[in-house]
Each structure stands twice: as structure tokens, then as C-alpha cells.
Amino acid sequence: MTELDPVTREVLRNALVEVAEEMNANLIRSGYSPNIKERRDCSSALFDPQGRMVAQAESIPVHLGAMPFSVKAALEHFHGDLEPGDTIVLNDPFSGGVHLPDITFVTPIFHRGELVAFAANRAHHADVGGKSPGSVAGDATEIYQEGLRIPPIKLWRGGELDEDLLELILANVRTPEERRGDLRAQKAANETGRRRFLELIERYGLKLLASAIEEILDYSERRMRAELAALPEGTYEYEDYLDDDGVRAGRIKLRVTVRVRKDELEVDFTGSSPQVEGPVNAVYAVTASAVYYTVRALTDPDIPPNEGCYRPIRIIAPEGTVVNARPPAAVVGGNLETSQRIVDLLIGALAQAAPEKAIGACQGTMNNLTLGGIDPRSGKPYTLYETIGGGFGARPTKDGLDGVHSHMTNTLNTPVEALEIAYPLRVERYELRPDSCGAGRWRGGLGIRRDIRVLGHRARVSLLGERRITRPYGVLGGEPGGNGADFIIDGDGKERPVKGKGSVVLEPGWIISVRTPGGGGYGSPAARPKELILKDYREGRLSAEYVLKHYGFDPRGEGG
């Protein structure tokens, strides 16, 4: 090991981060599907030879906290059987993955015959088979209905693509050409990481770079321990609920006990519901990812995110529960929805220890929407997948943000122009939802309404959303945000509500309307300055009826 001064450490740390960022940028630029090239639903990272995460691109939290489990699964499966040119592919949630649409690529990096690192990336594919177009079925009851399971396999071996394996994968999806393009983009991204990492070795030497990696991990650990040591020691508990499991009615309990002990944190989910029949079960990697994200957000987000950052955190997630499901559980919603509720759960618990960092609950859902059918323009199948933003929770010094993705998702929207070019669909409405926020000294953010019309064909819609029954909580006297809701609008313009989890068929000309939750408020509504309330009213964010109900006066009598 070589002694490192802080300046050299930071130079090399930022160089490694830039390698990961360039990997992700190349994945987005070369991606084939709108889900990757427009929504940027992908993540990249670098790992050391032991499978420890060293650096990551700041992209999708639910990907990044769980990706180390994929790299370690690849290492365990191919221990001693790796060579230059190999690339391992996997998506099986019970063997290193999180849910089937997220396909992970792991590429070992060799220098003069020695394994020196791994490049890895994860991308959400718009279809991987299963019972519903888009592979996000809100009513699935076992993983076999959710798509093609890929255990750790070598799709490239010694630099040669296994064409037979690729054809096997493509034969099990609805949109094979799109999948082929996205898979090749993932391979190219890892090749970028391999090339750039070797350039760092040539410039700085392997010995210095290896020393820097150890110091970077230790540095993140020291900073995280210092943050945890500043929290009041104690035990903090919180409960929250999922609306249902998509198959059976009835709320699903999630419970956490957080123990702060000196410079360590124990997060215990004992008391959470047993795993359920529907698809909201989370595997352990998803639960860990949500914990890591929340702890980092509530301490110091500038701590470099890597394996060292998470060393002081211990997670207890009893096997067979909704936060650590056993096969063959359906799990697609565990990654997408239960991860969001785990964040709400932890913020609710840790707000007791650090109220100055508390925020109202964000929308608490990704509002997953998939649409699929036969494109009448080409006669070929298509699948659209997207998540829809909503209200961000109010903060200690300002309102929540309107209409954004929050917490475990960090994607962009699908631009209207890109969506309408790629698919036989038309976006009829895309707007903020007035009155959907939680009132408070600082109000929560507004949700979104997005209406999509099917053109010239029948389409199957799958919905997987939350906070349709339970509401995003407010804090310190703030009121909860508004619920989400989903509707079908038929050819006569008649609206009818549909469940937030499940599948329906749309006839030509029909519309699916997704209306997303708002964020919870912060502090008492009585403390909100009148000028801010009137500003929201004049700008159309709040109705006169809302202002009268929540703030106690009629803005129409105030020159509004």
C-alpha cells in the first residue's frame, strides 16, 4: 500500500466517478429505447476485484444501492472462471437481481492477466416477457408471470458474443429489436468503463490506484460514522402501509425500528407483513438499497457513495416478509413501490432523531404505467413503460417541488414528442393537479395528471401505483398530500375509475388517465404567510375552496 495525501485521493476519487459518469452517458446516448435514451432509466458503477462498489454515476438510487448484490452474485457464480472479454448478464431477483425488467451487465477488467476491477451497469428494459406487455403486471402472483429470469450467465465469453443465448433471450420478449439495441448499448457502456479504468492504471500505476481505492472506501466510512455519531442515541420506530398487494384488498404493514448506537445504525424491519400473494414483495437487495439511500439523504448527501459509506449500517429484514421475500414470490412492485414506502418509513423514524432534516412524505409511488399492443403503422408489437412524477414533500424552509420524480426513482419523463413518434399513442393532457398538495407552513408539491389516448388499435394497460388509499404524511403539523387516482375515459368521454394495480384493455380512441399523489406538508397551516397562499391561488395551484378549507379564508375576498 502507498501513503496518499488528501489531494491525490480526491483527484483519483473524482477520476473514478467520471469513469462511471461517462459509462452512463454512453449508455444513454447509444440506448435504443425511449426508456433509456429519453427517460434515462439506467445506472453505472465501478467495483474493485472483491466486488466492493468504488464509484457510481449519480443516477437511479434503487439501481445503485442494489447493484453490489449483482456483482457479488456474478463473482460467486464464476469464481475462478473469469477471463478478459467476458461479460456476465443477470436479472433474477433471487440471484443478484431486483426485478426482471432491470438487466445488469458485469464485465471483469484485467490488466496484464490480473483481475483489477469490474465495470457494471443496470438498465430497465421496456419488456422482458411475462403475462403483460411491459413486464410490470400489477396483479402477478408469482415471478414466472413477470418475465424471463436470467441467472448469472456469460453472454460474452472471451470477447465472443454467445449468439444462441442472445436469441434465446430475444425469443422471450415482445420487442426483440429494441431489446437487442439496448443490450448492445449496455455492453458498450461497460467497454467504456474497462477502457477508461485501464487508462487510469497506465497514468497512475496499479499500486497507487489500488491504494487510492482503499483510502476512498475508508474515507467514506469515516464521514458516515461521524454523521451517525452526531445523531441522538436511541431507538426510533415507525409504521406505514401499502394500499394493497394488487391481488387482495387490505393494507400491508411495514414496520421499522431504528437503533442509533454511537457511530452505527441498526435498521430492523421485524414486525413487517409476511410476503404477500401480489407483486409488492421486495427482495433483500431492494430493501438494502432503500435504506442506504435514505441514510445518505438524511445525513450528508455529499459523502462519496461506495461500499465504505454503508459499513456502519446493519439491516435486519426477516426472511419471508414483504421486505425480504422468498421465491417464487412476485416482486416487480417491490422494487418499484415497496422501495418508496421503505423510504417514507425511515424518514418517519429518523425525523424523531433529526427533526431539522425531516420532510413531508413525497408522493410515495412511481406510478408505473405500461401500454402494449400491435402498432397499426408497422404491424409489430410495441411496449411503452414509464413512471410519472408527483409531489415532493414540503421541506423545513420551503415548499415541496411540483410534479417531480422522487426518492428511489430519478428518471426523466418521456417527452410528449418522443412518445408520440415512437408509439401509436397521443398525450391528451399533461398538467399539474391543483389542490393535490398537503397544506402546511410549507405546502407539499402538486401531483400530475397525464392522459394518453390509444390510436387505431386495442391496447393492454398495466398499472402499478401506490398512495391511492393511504396518503403521503405531513410532518410537524403539516397535512397529508392528496391521493392518486386512475381512470379510463371511453370514446364517449365517460370516466370510470380503475384500480391502481392491475391490467385493463383500452379500445381504439380510449384514454388512460393517471393522476398522481401530492406531497405532505411541513408545519402548521396556520403559520403559512397569507401572501404565499394568495400566490398559489392566483397561479392556479390552489382553488378558493381549498384555501377556505385548509387556511381558513376566502381568497376571492382578498383581491384574488
Asked whether residue 42 carries a pLDDT value surpassing 90, the answer given is yes
Whether 85 contacts 158, CB under 8 Å:
yes
Task: Output Rg (C-alpha) for the chain, integer angstroms.
Answer: 24
Q: How much of the chain exceeds pLDDT 70, in percent?
A: 99
Question: Which one-letter DSSP state was computed for residue 484?
Answer: P
Per-residue pLDDT tens digits for 209-241: 999 999 999 999 999 999 999 999 999 999 999
Per-residue pLDDT tens digits for 321-336: 999 999 999 999 999 9
- Mean pLDDT over 467-481 rounds to 96
- Beta partners for residue 120, in sequence order: 45, 106
Can you tell me the distance from the alpha carbon of 347 to that of 258, in angstroms, rounded to the nearest whole number?
Answer: 10
| Cell, residue 117 | 476491477
Per-residue pLDDT tens digits for 417-429: 999 999 999 999 9
DSSP string of 64-122?
A: HTTHHHHHHHHHHHTTT---TT-EEEE--TTTT-SSTTEEEEEEEEEETTEEEEEEEEE
- C-alpha distance across the termini of the chain, in Å: 69
pLDDT score of 559 = 61
Asked whether residue 244 carries a pLDDT value surpassing 90, the answer given is yes
Can you tell me the distance from the alpha carbon of 504 to that of 369, in angstroms, rounded to the nearest whole number?
Answer: 11
Per-residue pLDDT tens digits for 489-516: 999 999 999 999 999 999 999 999 999 9
Per-residue pLDDT tens digits for 306-360: 999 999 999 999 999 999 999 999 999 999 999 999 999 999 999 899 888 889 9
| CA-to-CA dists, residue 549 to 19, 354, 363, 546, 553, angstroms | 53, 31, 22, 5, 8
- Beta partners for residue 161, in sequence order: 156
pLDDT score of 182 = 97
pLDDT score of 2 = 56
Per-residue pLDDT tens digits for 103-120: 999 999 999 999 999 999
- Mean pLDDT over 9-34 rounds to 96
Asked whether residue 443 carries a pLDDT value surpassing 70, the answer given is yes
pLDDT score of 3 = 67
Give the three-state DSSP class for 156: strand
| Cell, residue 58 | 449519480
Asked whether residue 242 carries a pLDDT value surpassing 90, the answer given is yes
